[in-house]
């Protein structure tokens, strides 16, 4: 199993996603003799998972059922164990685009954290690129190495446990892009410049506070970066639902003209707005924004090495 190559069947040792619904799923490591408890009952790995195809519908012991999905960076972001605050798909998508990443790119990242962005970067630069990721916290760095190995991408990533602000990324003049998600990114701008290729490399810094952005931009100018710009991504979700609207009173003549030639006995006309005129309402499909939305996550500052 690999996060960058699709596998057809579930094997012992795979990481799979148990899908109970759009708002309910979780990862599971498939192992012989192991069972997983869900609200629909028990899933027995040996009998219910191993050897089955990804995407299969699995019946649990209580009669309910779930789908078993192949892991992807997007699904992993939604289900990974949180060791730190993570980046979500809204920010990840603009980061990969603005850093101009593609298969074969060399990327430096700090810090690794829970590995949400790391998995997306690895999938983007595969099969010939490489990710150099630096994590200050030793236990988090060791856990990241373990996950990359389990997910079949360890050959595409190098995890280093050190302070990037003091020791840099451990590479020089090879990176196409650098990403910073640390408390004081302005202290790592010099190391980022040293890691980037001679000309044209891109850098992105993620910071939750505007004061961090200000200091980072000043450091970027000091080190000769150009095209410095900051943006913020806000996600607003709409629900599609049926709503009832009252028909305006336009007079009897307008009502007669609007339904001229209408055959109410024809089954194909059932549900037509004309059938609801007597009730004074008509139903429409409408996109309605949620009352609550995900607000500020952080500021993304991009620049180019000239």
Q: Are 26 and 122 in the same domain?
A: no
Q: What is the tens place of the pLDDT at every residue in 181-232?
A: 999 999 999 999 999 999 889 999 999 999 999 999 999 999 999 999 999 9
Mean pLDDT across the chain, nearest whole number?
90
Query: 117 labelled as ligand-binding?
Result: yes
How would you list the strands of the sheet with 57-59, edge to edge? 24-29, 15-21, 65-69, 57-59
Q: pTM for the full model?
A: 0.84
Q: Are 48 and 133 in the same domain?
A: no
Q: What is the tens place of the pLDDT at every residue in 288-300?
A: 888 887 778 999 9
CATH of residue 21: 3.10.330.20
Q: Which helix (H) or strand (E) holds 258?
A: helix 252-258
Q: Are 27 and 15 in the same domain?
A: yes
Percent of the chain whose pLDDT exceeds 70: 91
Q: Are 80 and 210 in the same domain?
A: yes
For residue 160, name the pLDDT band (cuts at 50, 70, 90): very high
Q: Are 50 and 161 in the same domain?
A: no
* Overall domain count for the chain: 2
Burial of 24 from C-beta contacts in 10 A (0-12 / 13-18 / 19+): exposed
Mark which of 71, 91, 117 sits at the end of a domain.
71
| Parent domain of 221 | 75-234+295-305
Range with the lowest mean pLDDT among 65-69, 205-209, 264-268?
264-268
Query: 154 labelled as ligand-binding?
Result: no
Q: What is the tens place of the pLDDT at every residue in 106-148?
A: 999 999 999 999 999 999 999 999 999 999 999 999 999 999 9
Which residues share a beta bridge with 42?
37
Query: 135 labelled as ligand-binding?
Result: yes
pLDDT of residue 281: 86
For residue 251, name the pLDDT band (cuts at 50, 70, 90): low
What is the average per-residue pLDDT within 237-251?
Answer: 83
Q: Are 90 and 194 in the same domain?
A: yes
Q: What is the tens place of the pLDDT at every residue in 27-65?
A: 999 999 999 999 999 999 999 999 999 999 999 999 899
**257 has a pLDDT exceeding 60:** no
The per-residue b/e assignment along 73-86, b for 16 or more CB within 10 angstroms, e otherwise, is bbbbbbbbeebeeb
Burial of 58 from C-beta contacts in 10 A (0-12 / 13-18 / 19+): buried
Query: 93 labelled as ligand-binding?
Result: no
Query: 116 labelled as ligand-binding?
Result: yes
Count of helices and strands (H, E) across the chain: 8, 15
Query: 300 labelled as ligand-binding?
Result: no
pLDDT of residue 65: 93
**286 has a pLDDT exceeding 80:** yes
Query: 263 labelled as ligand-binding?
Result: no
CA–CA–CA angle 189, 193, 197 (5° rounding): 155
Helix axes 116-125, 89-98, angle to 10 degrees: 40
Q: What is the tens place of the pLDDT at every residue in 82-103?
A: 999 999 999 999 999 999 999 9
Q: Are 81 and 222 in the same domain?
A: yes
pLDDT of residue 274: 54
Q: Are 101 and 50 in the same domain?
A: no
On the CB side of 93, how many CA atoms lie within 13 Å of its CA?
Answer: 8
**278 has a pLDDT exceeding 80:** no
CATH of residue 108: 3.40.50.150
The encoded tokens of residue 91 equal 């920010």
């Amino acid at each position: 199993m690999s996060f960058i190559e699709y596998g057809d069947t579930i094997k012992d040792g795979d990481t799979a996603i148990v899908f109970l619904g759009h708002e309910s799923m979780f990862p599971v490591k498939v192992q012989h003799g192991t069972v997983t408890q869900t609200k629909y009952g028990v899933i027995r790995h040996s009998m219910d998972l191993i050897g089955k195809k990804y995407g299969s519908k699995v019946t649990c012991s209580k009669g309910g059922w779930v789908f078993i999905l192949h892991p992807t960076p997007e699904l992993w972001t939604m289900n990974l164990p949180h060791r730190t605050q993570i980046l979500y798909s809204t920010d990840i998508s603009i980061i990969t685009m603005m850093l101009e990443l593609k298969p074969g790119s060399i990327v430096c990242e700090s810090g690794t954290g829970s590995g949400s962005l790391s998995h997306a970067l690895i999938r983007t630069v595969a099969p010939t690129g490489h990710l150099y990721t630096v994590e200050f916290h030793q236990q988090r760095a060791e856990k990241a190495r373990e996950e990359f190995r389990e997910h079949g991408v360890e050959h595409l990533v190098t995890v280093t446990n050190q302070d990037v602000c003091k020791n840099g990324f451990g590479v020089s003049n090879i990176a196409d892009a650098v990403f910073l998600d640390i408390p004081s990114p302005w202290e790592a701008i010099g190391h980022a410049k040293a890691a980037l290729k001679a000309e044209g490399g891109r850098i992105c810094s993620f910071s939750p506070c505007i004061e961090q952005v200000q200091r980072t931009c000043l450091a970027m100018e000091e080190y000769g970066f150009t095209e410095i710009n900051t943006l913020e991504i806000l996600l607003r979700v709409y629900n599609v639902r049926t709503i009832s609207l009252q028909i305006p009173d336009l007079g009897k003549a307008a009502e007669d003209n609007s339904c001229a030639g209408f055959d109410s006995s024809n089954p194909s006309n059932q549900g037509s707005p004309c059938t609801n005129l007597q009730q004074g309402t008509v139903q429409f499909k409408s996109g309605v924004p949620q009352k609550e939305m995900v607000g500020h996550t952080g500021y993304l500052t991009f620049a180019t090495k000239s």
